[in-house]
Amino acid sequence: MNETRRRLILAMAGSAGLSQAPGALADRGIGPAGLPDGALDSSEYDTLPGKQPLIKRSWRPPNFETPVRNFNDPYTPNDAFFVRYHLAGVPEIDASTWRLRIGGDAAGTPLELSLAELQSGYPQVEFAALCLCSGNRRGLSKPHVPGIQWGHGAMGNALWKGVRLKDVLARAGITGRAVEVAFDGADTAPIDATPDFVKSLPAWKAMDENTLIAWEMNGEPLPHWNGYPVRLVVPGWTATYWMKHLTGIDVRSTPSTGFWTAQAYRIPKGRFPVVDRFVSQESETTTPITEMVTNSLITNIRDQGIYRAKTPLFVRGVAWDGGYGVDRVEVSIDGGRLWQAGALGEDLGRFSWRQWSFAFNPEPGEHVLMARATNRIGVTQTFDLVFNPAGYHNNVVQRVRIRC
């Protein structure tokens, strides 16, 4: 808890929402069409200070989704990057008085760092990584599940710059007794009914050389809404662990019992093809979500869109996984009967998404476009939803219907 922080008053800034019929909302990119009617009706473009108009899924706390058209760029612009909060008390932090406290019963030499000390005291690293909300596409779950009804846009790819968490933990004298490392951000719940957002990582993942304490995103300071001044970057793992406005690190010899680690963000055991385990938090039937599953998205073709026949149509998209790297993307233009190789774009690193493209000359008539990614350890996407009560890990192969 930082005394100097102030709550940001969420002023309705420049509402760009238009009242239109639900069908038109899907057309404007608020979709996809599979979202529940209520979610489409209550969503609109709206503008947070410093951001472009994004798709508002909730206002308090702010949950804003990136329009899919932005995913045609290799990196998602900072002012279009999605915003996800659990608590409505979004902190406004003065970087000159911000401090990061590292302690806990498995830290022999607790310490406190200013931003300048963090930036000058450790080797710096920068790489690309996809930040993807566990619940991205939750709105497409059938049957529907409670929670923010995300479409496809609760994700973004960026270059992250910071220092390795393991270097800071070493300075704090992390001992062999460490089981988990828990992270606290400066946000607060306005009424104390909601538990503080604290997330724990297994000690091995905290000590991974790619887990960063980052202050820069795409060459700029982190935007306010994406964790200014400092956030955790846990590449390969879903964004629930990417603590924003990081203020406290607790190196623990015992598993965290906090709500957001011990009860929330859980998946049924054994149903998803994931490799990484979070053993100290596993129960008989559930386990915390860990790495992202292999997935892809068509980014430039509109579902129900009309395109020219007998003219080359360039299908573009992105594909990603939990950090092994994308091996291939196959594309079908006939609803999944025949699959052909898509062309992969530049490899921006194994934690980045990978752009891909596929060109064909459509015959007149209807076509169902599909894309299916496979990663370097041979794990691919599912055709049938793996239902789970929180709607996580939706990597169902998309079906995009077009008419030519």
Ligand X SMILES: Nc1nc2c(c(=O)[nH]1)N[C@H]1C(S)=C(S)[C@@H](COP(=O)(O)O)O[C@H]1N2
**Residues binding ligand X (CB under 6 A):** 81-86, 131, 133, 185, 187, 197, 226-227, 239-240, 242-245
Query: Sign of dihedral through CA atoms 209, 215, 221, 226?
Result: positive
Which residue's CB comes closest to ligand X? 185
CB of 185 to ligand X, least distance (A): 3
Please report whether residue 243 would count as binding Mo ion according to CB under 5 A.
no
CB of 192 to ligand X, least distance (A): 16
CB 212 within 8 A of CB 160: yes
Cβ atoms within 10 A of the Cβ of 359, count?
12
Task: Name 78's Cβ contacts closer than 8 Å, sequence gap at least 6.
Answer: 158, 217, 218, 220, 223, 226
Closest to 270 (Cα-Cα) out of 112, 398, 386, 146: 386
CB 323 within 8 A of CB 236: yes
* Mask for 128-157, x = binds Mo ion (CB under 5 A): -----xx-----------------------
CB of 397 to ligand X, least distance (A): 23
Residue 153 interacts, among ligand X, Mo ion, none and using kind-specific CB cut-offs from 5 to 8 Å, with: none
Q: Which is nearer to ligand X, 70 or 332 (CB)?
A: 70
Give the chain's count of helices (H) and strands (E). 6, 27
End-to-end CA distance of the chain: 57
Residue 245 interacts, among ligand X, Mo ion, none and using kind-specific CB cut-offs from 5 to 8 Å, with: ligand X
- Beta bridge partners of residue 158, listed in sequence order: 129
* Residue 318 exposed, middle or buried by CB count within 10 Å (0-12, 13-18, 19+): buried
Q: Which is nearer to ligand X, 188 or 300 (CB)?
A: 188
CB of 377 to Mo ion, least distance (A): 24
Structure-token pair, residue 162: 């910071």
- The stretch near Mo ion (CB under 5 A) out of 10-18, 34-42, 78-86, 142-150 is 78-86
Residue 45 interacts, among ligand X, Mo ion, none and using kind-specific CB cut-offs from 5 to 8 Å, with: none
What is the C-alpha to C-alpha distance for residues 298 and 300, in angstroms, rounded to an integer?
A: 6
Q: Which is nearer to ligand X, 240 or 290 (CB)?
A: 240
Which residue's CB comes closest to Mo ion? 133
CB of 132 to Mo ion, least distance (A): 8
CB of 134 to ligand X, least distance (A): 6
Residue 302 interacts, among Mo ion, ligand X, none and using kind-specific CB cut-offs from 5 to 8 Å, with: none
What is the C-alpha to C-alpha distance for residues 178 and 174, in angstroms, rounded to an integer?
A: 7
What is the C-alpha to C-alpha distance for residues 201 and 85, in angstroms, rounded to an integer?
A: 19
Q: Which is nearer to ligand X, 45 or 228 (CB)?
A: 228
Q: Which is nearer to ligand X, 147 or 305 (CB)?
A: 147
Q: Which residues are at the interface with Mo ion (CB under 5 A)?
A: 84, 133-134, 239-240
